[in-house]
Amino acid sequence: MRGWLDVRTPSGRGGLLHLSWRVDRGRNVLLVTAPLGTAGFLLEGRPGAWCVRTTRRGPRRIRRLRRLLRRWLGGDVPIASVRYWMFATPAPGRPSYVRYDRHVRVRLLRQQGWSVRYRRYTTLVGRVLPDRVRLAHRGLLLRILINRWTIGAGRARRGARGERRGGTACPRRRGATGAS
């Protein structure tokens, strides 16, 4: 998906960022940049094995993505759950509350202390998908405006800007061998 992310932190900081998020075989590629591309980060990997590159720093491995996002955003963002929430689905294995609209689409989802509101939907290849999502938790507000969804055949399309094909761009840890 591609679109815009409006962030408001509990301290009142924030701004509008361009967002591109791709998931392929469990591997995430998330590119977040300022509107003119002057700042941002590229995050790729899967839970427990993340690589992050920023405009100020080269690639580095991180294990605890939530800790990094807490430092950047001022709040705890459960990225594994957000992946489900973007499809208007509760994350599995966690208690949730769901309210539907008259068209039986999710209008409100509450899970893990987050309130997720779905403002508008679009249809792609017969599938109804949200294109305006508002996530709120303890003063942290994330508004996502999705301009484009790509599902299935997206492999034939060009990926997120700055995305590398194959493995991550992170250096290997010391003592790692070439065998996988």
Q: Is residue 51 part of a domain?
A: yes
* Two tokens, residue 32: 């977040």
Q: Is 35 inside any structural domain?
A: yes
Is position 131 within any domain? yes
Using the predicted structure, report yes or no on whether residue 175 has a pLDDT greater than 50.
no
The predicted model gives 87-99 an average pLDDT of 96
Residue 162 confidence class, pLDDT cut points 50, 70, 90: very low
- Domain with residue 148: its CATH number is 2.50.20.10
Which one has a higher pLDDT value, 55 or 22?
22
Residue 173: which pLDDT band, with cuts at 50, 70 and 90? low
Each residue's pLDDT tens digit, 127-158: 899 999 999 999 999 999 999 998 875 432 32
The encoded tokens of residue 116 equal 């997720």
pLDDT at 113: 95
Mean pLDDT of the chain: 83
Q: How many CB atoms lie within 10 A of CB 135?
A: 21
* Block residue for tokens 């989802």: 109
Q: How many domains does the chain have?
A: 1
Q: Is residue 136 part of a domain?
A: yes
18 within some domain: yes
Quick: pLDDT tens for 34-60. Answer: 887 678 888 898 878 889 998 888 898
Q: Would you say residue 56 lies in a domain?
A: yes
Q: What is the DSSP letter of 17?
A: E
Segment 64-82, tens digit of pLDDT: 888 888 877 778 888 889 9
Amino acid 109 reads L
Does a structural domain hold residue 162?
Answer: no
**Higher-confidence position of 27 and 164:** 27
The whole-number pLDDT of residue 153 equals 57
Q: Residue 130 belongs to what domain range?
A: 2-156
The H-assigned helical ranges of the chain are 65-73, 79-85
What mean pLDDT is predicted for residues 3-25? 90
Confidence grade of residue 16 (pLDDT, cut at 50, 70, 90):
very high
Distance CA 179, CA 101 (A): 52
Q: Is residue 145 part of a domain?
A: yes
